[in-house]
Amino acid sequence: MILGSQESFLTKLDLIQKQMDKRPDEMVPVKYDNSEDSMSYVAQNLLIGGLAALFFYQIYKGRNPGSAGKGGKAGKKGSEGGSDWFGSGGRFGSMNKANVNTYGEDKKIDIRFKDVAGCDGAKQEVVEFVDFLKNPKKYQALGARVPRGALLVGPPGTGKTLLAKAVAGEAGVPFLSTSGSEFVEMFVGVGASRVRDLFKKAREKAPSIVFIDEIDAVGKKRNARAGGGGNEERDNTLNQLLVEMDGFATDSSVVVLAATNRADSLDSALLRPGRFDRQIEVILPTIKEREAIFKVHLKGIKTDTKLAKTEYARKLAALTPGFSGADIMNICNEGAIIAARKELNTVTIREFEQATERVIGGIERKLP
């Protein structure tokens, strides 16, 4: 029953009882019961507590996959002073660790520079970094210092990440690979802490190479908007990256490679000499470079024996001006798929031509 305000109810009750000629001692006493409000307050607190518990559980589960089935050891560790949650190796402490793949020790990469066709100029500059780390005395004897970093710049699909993989395969030093998005977090201070952890690991394994793919995710210009208003957490992460690359504690035996197709959006402090000493442009391949790329991707494809694979590569290179290495790989794969759909035993030049048309204009539309 809804009674409205307390004052209105009491006024009406007094009026009715006076009309009934009741004495003050005969009037009905009024008591208030706020049990419904109390239950609502308790329900709200329970809902907030449940959401908080779910949030902490998701963090626990995300940072420690499979730990739910290891309750014995995890529970015991958590009971010893609480360091399991807030320590350097705990549930929240692990958020500050950089997610890094390390190659050159236990993990190996089979890609070498001979497997990277095209972009010969970029390949030559990257080879110098590997040679410097393998034979530093040859350069130091002449007074040269190792470049701090190199930025691979070019359109998508031109082979920037592939070049970095070749460096990892060729280098006789540890290669630490990560992505710029790994440093972007909603929690304040996490991105900068992950940058520190990444370079700490690199210095422990020095001489070493650090590769940051899609660095524009963290290296965009600070306060790009007029009057400020930039992302403060991203700016803090970028500031930490600038310090690690060229600060008082910078280790010259750690080389940083990075890749981006948006160099114009990067902060100018990141591009100056002493941080990224070189900007290596990885451009779209020329006709000769496209021919070399086709030769690489045609190796695993069963082609018609009427033409040698070098002839296939030469003809297809002439058909694909402005194509990137990724586009060429796609054409070779689509040609094999079309041949399989036709139930052919080999892939002919006709299937590659159809694959080129499909990559350029999309799937053929048949008129009704």
The predicted-structure confidence for 320-351, as pLDDT tens digits, reads as follows 998 998 999 999 999 999 999 999 999 999 99
pLDDT tens digits for range 259-291: 998 888 888 888 888 888 888 888 889 999 999
SS3 218: coil
For the chain, percent of residues with pLDDT exceeding 70 = 78
Residue 165 parent element (H or E): helix 160-170
Segment 57-67 shows an average pLDDT of: 58
In the chain, which ranges are E strands?
Answer: 101-103, 149-153, 175-179, 208-213, 254-260, 278-281
Split at pLDDT 50, 70, 90, the class of 230 is very low
Dihedrals phi, psi of 175, to nearest 5 degrees: -125, 115
**For residues 247 and 227, which has the higher predicted lDDT (pLDDT)?**
247
Closest residue by Cα to residue 189 from 95, 284, 307, 302 = 95
Q: Is the dihedral of CA 341, 343, 348, 349 positive or negative?
A: negative
Does position 317 have pLDDT exceeding 60, yes or no? Answer: yes
For residue 17 the two structure tokens come to 């009882």
Cis? peptide before 156, omega within 30° of 0: no
**CB neighbours (10 Å) of residue 197?**
16
Lowest mean pLDDT among 148-157, 240-249, 301-310, 333-342: 240-249
- 69 vs 3: which has the higher pLDDT: 3
205: tokens are 């394994």
What distance in Å separates the CA atoms of residue 163 and residue 173, rounded to the nearest whole number?
A: 16
Residues 6+ apart with CB under 8 A from 299: 309
What is the average per-residue pLDDT within 24-42?
Answer: 64
pLDDT score at 333: 93
Beta-carbon contacts of 332 under 8 Å, excluding residues fewer than 6 positions away, are 294, 297, 298, 301, 352, 355
Question: What pLDDT does residue 62 have?
Answer: 54
Q: What is the pLDDT of residue 63?
A: 52
In terms of pLDDT, which residue wins out, 17 or 156?
156
DSSP β-bridge partners for residue 220: 266
| pLDDT at residue number 60 | 62
**How do 101-103 and 278-281 pair as beta strands?**
unpaired
Domain ranges in the chain are 101-281, 287-361
CATH topology of domain 287-361: Helicase, Ruva Protein; domain 3 (1.10.8)
**Least confident segment among 47-61, 70-84, 251-265, 284-298:** 70-84
101-281 CATH fold: Rossmann fold (3.40.50)
Mean pLDDT on 194-221: 87
Cα 231 to chain center, whole Å? 18
Model pLDDT, residue 163: 87
Q: What is the mean pLDDT of residues 168-181?
A: 83
Asked whether residue 82 carries a pLDDT value surpassing 50, the answer given is: no
Torsion sign over Cα 56, 59, 61, 67? negative
Residue 80 in this model has a pLDDT that exceeds 60: no
Which residues sit opposite 176 in a β-bridge? 102, 210
More confident residue, 167 or 318: 318
User: How high is the pLDDT of residue 229?
Assistant: 44
Which residues, listed in sequence order, are joined to residue 281 by a DSSP beta bridge?
Answer: 153
Query: Whole-angstrom Cα distance, residue 177 to residue 214?
Result: 11
3-state secondary structure (DSSP) of residue 80 = coil
**pTM of the predicted structure, to 2 decimals:** 0.68
Instruction: Return the pLDDT at 77.
Output: 45
For 320, other C-beta atoms within 10 Å of its C-beta total 22
Is the dihedral angle over the CA atoms 49, 51, 57, 63 positive or is it negative? negative
CA distance 338 to 366: 17
pLDDT tens for 112-139 read 888 888 877 888 888 887 788 778 788 8
What integer is the mean pLDDT of 140-147? 81
Which residues are within 8 A (CB) of 295 and not within 5 positions of it... i.e. 6 or more apart? 117, 309, 310, 313
